[in-house]
Amino acid sequence: MPAQIDSTVNRLIQAAHVTGAGVALFHRGKVVYLKTYGMRDAEKNLPLTPDSVMTAASLTKSAFATVVMRLVQRGALDLDKPIEEYLGNPLGNFAPYSDLKGDPRTAKLTLRILFDHTTGLANFRGLEDDHKLHIHYNPGTHYGYSGEGINLAQFVVEKVTGKSATQLMQEELYGPLKMSRTSMVWQPRFESDFANGYDEYGRSLGPERRTSPNAAGSMLATPRDYATFLAALMRGEVLSSAARGRMLSPQIRIHSAHQFPSLNTDTTTAYDPIDLSYGIGWGLYKSPYGPGFFKEGHDEGWRNLALCFLNGDGMLVMTNSSNGEGMFKPLVEALLGETAFPFDWDGYTPYDKLPPLPKLKEHKRVTLTADQLTEL
């Protein structure tokens, strides 16, 4: 089996032009396989290791949601209390959210709505034509992935607890699980083993040395550490059974034809057979393995996927390449078999079905802020 996995992953990273990949497999809530392939620094010929610090991107969102559920199970937070009651003022009175001043719909926002992506906000305000926040539909009525919603949850939780997201994540998750090479911001200890991100052309983008926490996607983690988190969650060691059940219960059915662009209005019934839904910070669906939950991570130079099942099986793949998603479908099918995962909805086109890249001289790079980069 290990030799077959090696052969499969090595073939796929070469065919899909992926610089490096960390792969973990889970069985009954235990990490039964963890190995890394390719390079963390192609220029220096340094191999990726299970302890190489990588950009988790939007895998951050699910970890943060889990920490919030720990606070919920202790009674420190209520998923259904309007966030303006926590804040003590209308949301638009706070500088980061002044664009929403005068919109009465902010009174409907709750942590549940923020984490199940039904806020009506764009993924990020920088994607709006005027670069301002707008609520596009009544909160709680329609799924539309929003990093802004998760960052707003961070804003609320930090106000309520008086602690930064960096401190909360360390106290509630990283510390208890001994995830010593994971943080919401860059740490000096990461310098000993970190990965560079690489674009579609194989050009190094360097590491992401984040200096401020961003619940939508600033987490820096190793394949070993994030696998530790997923395994503990599946074993029931991170949350009580009741709290985990609430987190992984469908909050909103998804009928969008594609996850992105997040405010698209195209609908489909294609995913009704798998009951594609969103829970509290996790995508949910019915699989041949039983109930499944998943989270993607997408940043320039980084592509990640966590796919788990309540029976304790699943896999994690973390890559330091913008080409990483091209290997996800064939990799999942080779290692897990038929999972019924909605690859098309997630935009995971296999590498051999993608159109050729434009010639490099025709390729215009777009510089985005760190917040805008964290799309998934």
Q: Among all chains, which residue has been given the structure tokens 């709006």?
A: 128
What pLDDT does 200 receive?
98
Query: What is the C-alpha to C-alpha distance for residues 110 and 235, in angstroms, rounded to an integer?
Result: 29
- Is pLDDT above 60 for 366? no
Q: Model confidence at 361, in pLDDT bands (50, 70, 90)? A: confident
Token pair for 212: 């401020």
- Is pLDDT above 90 for 87? yes
Furthest CA-CA distance within the chain: 61
Short-list 91, 118, 116, 111, CA closest to 102: 91
Q: Model confidence at 1, in pLDDT bands (50, 70, 90)? A: confident
What pLDDT does 19 receive?
99
Short-list 170, 117, 165, 105, CA closest to 144: 117
What pLDDT does 31 receive?
99
* Residues linked to residue 38 through DSSP beta bridges, in sequence order: 20
What pLDDT does 368 receive?
52
Q: Supply the mean pLDDT for the chain.
A: 96
Q: Are 312 and 1 in contact (CB under 8 A)?
A: no
What pLDDT does 362 receive?
53
- Is pLDDT above 70 for 27? yes
**Amino acid in position 346:** D
Q: Model confidence at 20, in pLDDT bands (50, 70, 90)? A: very high
Token pair for 161: 């607890």
Q: Are 64 and 153 in contact (CB under 8 A)?
A: yes
Short-list 13, 33, 34, 56, CA closest to 331: 13
Neighbours of 290 (CB within 10 A): 11
Architecture of domain 2-373: 3-Layer(aba) Sandwich (3.40)
**Amino acid in position 249:** S
- Is pLDDT above 60 for 184? yes
Length of the chain: 376
Which phi-psi region, left, alpha or beta, contains residue 145 (left: φ > 0; alpha: ψ -120 to 50)? beta
Q: Which of 117-126, 280-289, 320-329, 358-367 has the lowest mean pLDDT?
A: 358-367
Average pLDDT over residues 50-78: 99
What pLDDT does 360 receive?
86
